[in-house]
Structure 1
Amino acid sequence: MYENIRIVLVSTSHPGNIGATARAMKNMGLSELYLVNPHVFPHADASARASGADDLLAKATVCASLEEAVAGCSLVFGASARLRSLPWPLAEPREAAVQIINAHQQAPVAVVFGREHSGLTNDELLCCNALVHIPCNETFSSLNVAAAVQVLSYEIHMAGRQGITEVATDSPLATADEIERFFQHLEETLVEIEFLDPDKPRQLMRRLRRLYNRARLEETEVNILRGILTAAQKQARNRLQ
């Protein structure tokens, strides 16, 4: 039912959490499990905790990097138990689920869950368009990763029952790998025109990533922006001749 929706676990340390995640997903009709550098997988504990969702474990995709896991995705949410010092677009599960259901009709989407004890790093969040935060008891706010997956999976399933609430755009949204190539091109150009000092980058690229991720660029918009960057590079190189 939701073959374009990926649940991505990053560096999961306990295989039982992978199995419990598979069970939570299958309960809500999700089937696409991606594992980024799991500490131990496959494992008997994963199969035991899956409780009948072994088929999801059998076809789980194991990736070497988060970039690989979200390649081709037009929308990526990073689940976070804590709010970050650098503001990032933020949604609660119900709001995020509506966006996911709307977007998955056109291209794959992903919800990324971090390590059991430390969550996602700031660098990993750069792969995400937005954060999804589950409101909890402020004095005890850390959810088990499989429990967090269950909450998001439930909200996605309920949003799916309500149907699509937005009209699809004429141009498809740019995928995560297309956006990543744009960011690489942007950084290269900013260095070349001497707007960005690579020895003192500060927060510039992180803030620009936040800006463009919030915009959710379409393919044609990325092509336009990269065309502008290429023209800027040509002008900079002509001045040096």
Structure 2
Amino acid sequence: MFLSNIRIVLVRPTHPGNVGATARAMKNMSLNHLYLVAPEDFPSTDATDRAVGADDVLENAVICASLDEALKDCHLVIGTSARQRRIEWPSLDPESSAHRLVDGAQLGPVALLFGQERTGLLNAELDRCHFVATIPADRNYSSLNLACAVQILAYEIHRAGLSGSSATLVDSVEGDRPASDEDMQRFYRHLEEALQQIGFLDPANPRRLMRRLMRLFNRVVLDRNEMNILRGILTAVQQHREKFDKNDQE
């Protein structure tokens, strides 16, 4: 079933009890693929106790040293956040997030990210996300317990899976596979390099240019062919610049 392509990713979790409760919430909603990025305390008896029968989810959890490892092969990444940021990320409610993930799971691995209990996802981690899911809550006390947040979104994913795909994402990719997170990160590094080379981006004073550009491209469902076209354009720009610099020196 395509739900097996959905990864629940906990980034730097500090409390093993929350990891166990997350496993239970996942199993309640037919989700089995738990990824832990640099957990502070795992494995742990506290996690096992809180899992209450979801021991198999814990035993099969993938421990990752970095977010790169957890997002390997994923073509859609949705983060979660209760805080407003200076640069806004495209935001979805839990139901819309769930349908995006269910649709995307038919094309390959997708990920739903949850940040550390105290800080949530950092801006650098949100940079990896195509969308941000926000759970409506009291604006004066909007921070949910980690496992509670997982339960709410896992429930919406389960509902979306039962109702079937809207095929929005599937139809938007014509004949080619969507670009993976790895593809996107290589593109962003290439883009930054080219922008510096032509003098558009000052590495000493970058401001938030790359973050805004990442927000722009993350809103678009790029397939691998489109990604290759963009990389080709960047390479051509760089080659032209190098030729110009060489002629200028002569």
Q: Same fold judged by TM-score > 0.5?
A: yes
How do 1:37-116 residues align onto structure 2 when only pairs under 5 Å count? 37-116=38-117
Q: Distance in 1 between matches of 2:127 and 2:68?
A: 10
1:20 alignment partner AA: A
Counterpart of 1:123?
A: 124
Q: Deviations over 1:132-161 (max 9, x none)?
A: 000011222111000000000000000000
TM-score normalized with structure 1 length: 0.98
Q: Deviations over 1:73-98 (max 9, x none)?
A: 11100100112110110000001111
1:216 Cα deviation after fit: 2.2
1:67 Cα deviation after fit: 1.8
1:173 aligns with 2:178: yes
How do 1:131-170 residues align onto structure 2 when only pairs under 5 Å count? 131-166=132-167, 168=170, 169=173, 170=175
Q: Deviations over 1:154-209 (max 9, x none)?
A: 00000000111115222221011110000000001111111111111011000000
Q: Distance in 2 between matches of 1:9 and 1:93?
A: 17
> Which piece of structure 1 moves more, 6-15 or 133-142?
133-142
Q: Distance in 2 between matches of 1:130 and 1:162?
A: 22
> Which piece of structure 1 moves more, 154-163 or 58-67?
58-67
1:73 alignment partner AA: C
SS at match of 1:88: coil
TM-score normalized with structure 2 length: 0.95
Q: Deviations over 1:56-76 (max 9, x none)?
A: 111111111112111211110
SS at match of 1:62: strand
Q: Distance in 1 between matches of 2:193 and 2:21?
A: 43
Q: Distance in 1 between matches of 2:77 and 2:208?
A: 21
Counterpart of 1:215?
A: 220
2:180 alignment partner AA: T
1:220 alignment partner AA: N
1:215 Cα deviation after fit: 0.9
Q: Distance in 1 between matches of 2:245 and 2:101?
A: 47
Q: Deviations over 1:78-125 (max 9, x none)?
A: 100112110110000001111111110011000000011110111110
- Which blocks of at least 5 consecutive residues in structure 1 are unaligned? none
SS at match of 1:183: helix
Q: Is this contact kept in 2: 1:67–1:127, CA < 8 A?
A: no
Out of 165, 183, 187, the residue aligned to residue 182 of structure 1 is 187
